[in-house]
Amino acid sequence: MGRIAFIFSGQGDQHPGMGKELVEQYSIAAQIYDMCDGLRPGTLAQCLEGSQEELQETKNTQPCLFAMELAAASVLMEQGVLPEAVAGFSLGEVAAATVAGIFDQETGFRLVCKRGEVMQQEAEKYQTSMVAVVKLTPEQVQEVCHKYSDVYPVNFNCPGQIAVSGLTSQMGDFAADIRAAGGKALPLKVKAAFHSPFMKEAADAFARELEQVLVKERTIELYSNLTAEPYSQDVRGLLSKQICNPVQWEKTINHMIDRGIDTFIEIGPGKTLTTMMKRINPGVKAQTVMDYLREAEGC
């Protein structure tokens, strides 16, 4: 198959019913959800039966996505599909760190529940939102952002796509300036200004939570959103600071490819990262976990 990496998705791909096939077809997936339900009752029900609006609440989105992603990764690994490297987009980095062995599964789930809570609290303090800017270069997007006091380029996703966070009151004018520059600003399905200074207090709170847990040696190479490089020893700093700093996703993927990764499996309920891969480097193989499992089963 090649040299494999698992890439774990972040918020935005959540939808009602996510994880249903996994729970119905794989006992190890059901076991993961049982563990999550034991720590946070109702997690499985939210994944399978929650409304789109309920799943968009950060305090719900993050534990539900983590549960689905950990279940999917566990199914693959039980079948002998073992990654040489892992990376996760935003909250996906906590799932990636768990699969990499830095946290045990219960600790990883507790952490992502706390992460969702503190980020929800910060989101409720301000009227903020996010957009994906397409068709412009990073330099062009940054130039437009500099015109505004509270609008920030935050996720460098792939060529021609950068996510921007900011005050909702400034986003209308920002979008108009983006159109004038030849781009488009597309609203994202989140209710906060993630990876921006608006999340500084959430990052600090999560850092305090990380101080209370055991951090173990990784067993799989793990890449950082903050640096786009493999993790150093500063696990707690890298995981907390990424909450209020940009996600360097395009650089991360390119660094993984430079080190020999040629096959990427997106672990999550959608195909956002797989779509990005086609723009970052169409020469490598990228596939969603559910497509991979259906193909393996001959469906």
Q: What is the pLDDT of residue 295?
A: 87
Q: Are 128 and 192 in contact (CB under 8 A)?
A: yes
| 249 burial level (CB within 10 Å; 0-12, 13-18, 19+) | buried
Please identify, in words, the CATH class of the domain defined by 4-124+196-296: alpha beta
State the Cα–Cα distance between residues 175 and 106, nearest whole angstrom: 41
- Contacts of residue 121, defined as CB under 8 A and 6 or more positions apart, other chains included, come to 202
Q: How far apart are CA 47 and CA 19, in angstroms?
A: 7
DSSP character string of 229-273: SB--S-HHHHHHHGGGS-B-HHHHHHHHHHTT--EEEEESSS-HH
pLDDT, tens only, 91-105: 999 999 999 999 999
pLDDT value of residue 189: 77
Q: Is 255 a catalytic residue?
A: no
**pLDDT at residue 1, rounded to an integer:** 63
Q: Which CATH number fits domain 128-187: 1.10.240.10, 3.30.70.250, 3.40.50.720, 3.40.50.1000?
A: 3.30.70.250
3-class DSSP assignment, residue 278:
helix
DSSP-assigned beta bridge partners for residue 247: 155
Cα(223)–Cα(105) distance, integer angstroms? 19
Give pLDDT, residue 232.
Answer: 87
Catalytic member of 9, 129, 165, 195: 195
Q: Provide mean pLDDT across the span 270-293.
A: 96
Q: Is the dihedral of CA 18, 92, 6, 210 positive or negative?
A: negative
* Orientation angle between helical segments 249-258 and 272-280, nearest 10 degrees: 60
Q: At what angle do helices 200-210 and 105-123 cross, to 10 degrees?
A: 160
| 195 belongs to the catalytic site | yes
Mean pLDDT in residue range 241-249: 98
| Annotated active-site residue in 90, 129, 165, 196 | 90
Tens of pLDDT, residue by residue over 132-160, are 999 999 999 999 999 999 999 999 999 99
By residue count, the chain amounts to: 299
Over residues 31-47, the mean pLDDT reads 97
Write out 18-55 in H/E/C secondary structure: CCHHHHHHCHHHHHHHHHHHHHCCCHHHHHHHCCHHHH
Phi, psi of 83 (to 5 degrees): -80, 150
**In Å, what is the CA distance from 152 to each residue of 38, 122, 141, 149, 276?**
38, 16, 9, 9, 21
Digit-coded pLDDT (tens) for 199-218: 999 999 999 999 999 999 99
Cα–Cα distance for residue pair 227/249, rounded to 1 Å: 10
Cα 299 from Cα 287, distance rounded (Å): 15
Residue 91: closest CA among 64, 128, 66: 66
Say if residue 299's pLDDT is above 60: no
Q: What is the mean pLDDT of the chain?
A: 96
160-178 per-position pLDDT tens digit = 999 999 999 999 999 999 9
- Which residues, including other chains, have CB under 8 Å from residue 289's CB and lie 6 or more apart? 72, 73, 75, 76, 265, 266, 267, 268
The Cα–Cα gap between 232 and 26 comes to 34
Domain ranges of the chain: 4-124+196-296, 128-187
